[in-house]
Homo-oligomer: A and B are copies of this chain.
Amino acid sequence: MATLKDVAQLANVSMSTVSIIVNGKAHERSISDSTIEKVMNAVNELGYAPNSNARSLRYSQANRPKIALYWPFDTRTNLLSNILTDINMQIHKNKFDCELIVKAYENDYIEKNSKEIINNSFSGVIVGGPSQKDVSFLESLETMVPIVLINRSSEKLSTVNVNSKSIALMAVNLLKQAKKDNVSVVGIKDTYTASNQRTKDFIRECKNESIKINQKNIIYAVNDFNKGIDVAKKYIMQKNKSDTIFCESDVIALSMVYYFNKKNIKIPSELSIISIGTLGSNFTKYVTPSITTINVPSDKIANQIIKILMKKIENKNDKLPAHITVEPELFVRESFPEQ
């Protein structure tokens, strides 16, 4: 990478002159046109780009903490988009004077980013959507930088999780109130995480309350907007199907409901649906029928993440990982019968 010095040498002028020209102050400082030309030629020849770190250092620019949000780069449709928006808002609300840097990473390969994490380039790191492998890697890192995982568990790193058991209990309560004792389940197929914790918790709580779930009535699907169609088809083909579906993701539930409408299956009279919500509650509120969801509250998650980081950045001695659990939010709507 060419530096100011290189440019100065090539153009046969001093570094000051180059600096002035590169910063667009040539005329203000009445640099001669010939010098400007010489310098700009050198700049282009060398492909010079100023080093922003040096610049910022020189400017003694407010040394704001830098927070990095690592984000699997192919994530578009889930919780993470909301969380990013909410992190942005919470930084503002908490008047946290920091710089938020969004870094895409590839699942299973967050180690490629290890150098910048260890180097303490950041004052805090938030990791969304890590695989098991990514989590293990991050845990192995010898770094002072506080790392917060979103919806993952770890002994060593801080975590903010939605309370998976609460989700299960909320769902089970709804079932009990409506006297539903037999449920079909739609779970998410995920390559990168030992996912399905929420579905597992739900299944366990159902057992506790003697709500029946036939193994054959559990359908797994990729968390994709279109997959609800397949899921609905599979559901319809089931023998001994239950009249109730618990769905791990509203992303799937949307198209599922659409297909049931098409097939004239009446919701909720013939079929009741509860879904976990990750999209933000507005997206399931105005479909017909509106979908009863137990929502993962991205705003609360973002808020807790920011609080943890602010605290740990404030107090370096606070080395213990924080583990915060956030409660889900129930939205009772038309897809599930009123008690």
Q: Does A320 contact B (CB under 8 A)?
A: no
User: B121 near A104 (CB under 8 angstroms)?
Assistant: no
- Write out, one digit per residue, whether chain A residues 69-96 have a CB within 8 A of any chain B CB (1) or not (0): 0010111110001101110110110000
User: A102 near B102 (CB under 8 angstroms)?
Assistant: yes
User: A52 near B122 (CB under 8 angstroms)?
Assistant: yes
Q: Smallest CB–CB gap between A179 and chain B, Å?
A: 27
User: B228 near A119 (CB under 8 angstroms)?
Assistant: no
User: B101 near A61 (CB under 8 angstroms)?
Assistant: no
Interface residues of A in 38-57 (CB under 8 A from B): 40, 43-44, 47-57
Which of the residues B40, B53, B102, B228 comes within 8 Å of A57, measured between beta carbons?
B53
Q: Does A214 contact B (CB under 8 A)?
A: no
Q: Does A255 contact B (CB under 8 A)?
A: yes
Q: Does A285 contact B (CB under 8 A)?
A: yes
Interface residues of A in 260-303 (CB under 8 A from B): 261, 280, 282-283, 285-288, 290
Give the one of A81, A85, A104 with max B CB within 10 A.
Answer: A85
Q: Smallest CB–CB gap between A104 and chain B, Å?
A: 5
Number of interface residues of A (CB under 8 A): 73
Taken together, the copies of this chain in the complex come to 2
Q: Does A23 contact B (CB under 8 A)?
A: yes
Measured between beta carbons, the chain B residues less than 8 angstroms from A92 are 73, 104
CA distance A157 to B257 in the complex (A): 45
With A102-B100, A120-B23 as contacts: A288 and B258 at CB distance below 8 Å: yes
Q: Smallest CB–CB gap between A33 and chain B, Å?
A: 15
User: B258 near A290 (CB under 8 angstroms)?
Assistant: yes
Q: Does A200 contact B (CB under 8 A)?
A: no
Binds B, one of A130-138, A186-194, A240-248, A311-319: A311-319
Q: Does A123 contact B (CB under 8 A)?
A: yes
User: A65 near B88 (CB under 8 angstroms)?
Assistant: no
Q: What would 15 A/B residue contacts be, using CB atoms closer than 8 Å? A: A23-B120, A24-B144, A44-B317, A52-B122, A53-B63, A57-B57, A61-B121, A73-B88, A76-B82, A76-B280, A77-B282, A81-B85, A84-B102, A225-B286, A228-B286
Instruction: Show the binding face of A for B, using Cβ within 8 Å.
Output: 1, 22-24, 40, 43-44, 47-57, 59, 61, 63, 65-66, 71, 73-77, 81-82, 84-86, 88-89, 91-92, 99-104, 116, 119-123, 142-144, 225, 228, 254-255, 257-258, 261, 280, 282-283, 285-288, 290, 313-317
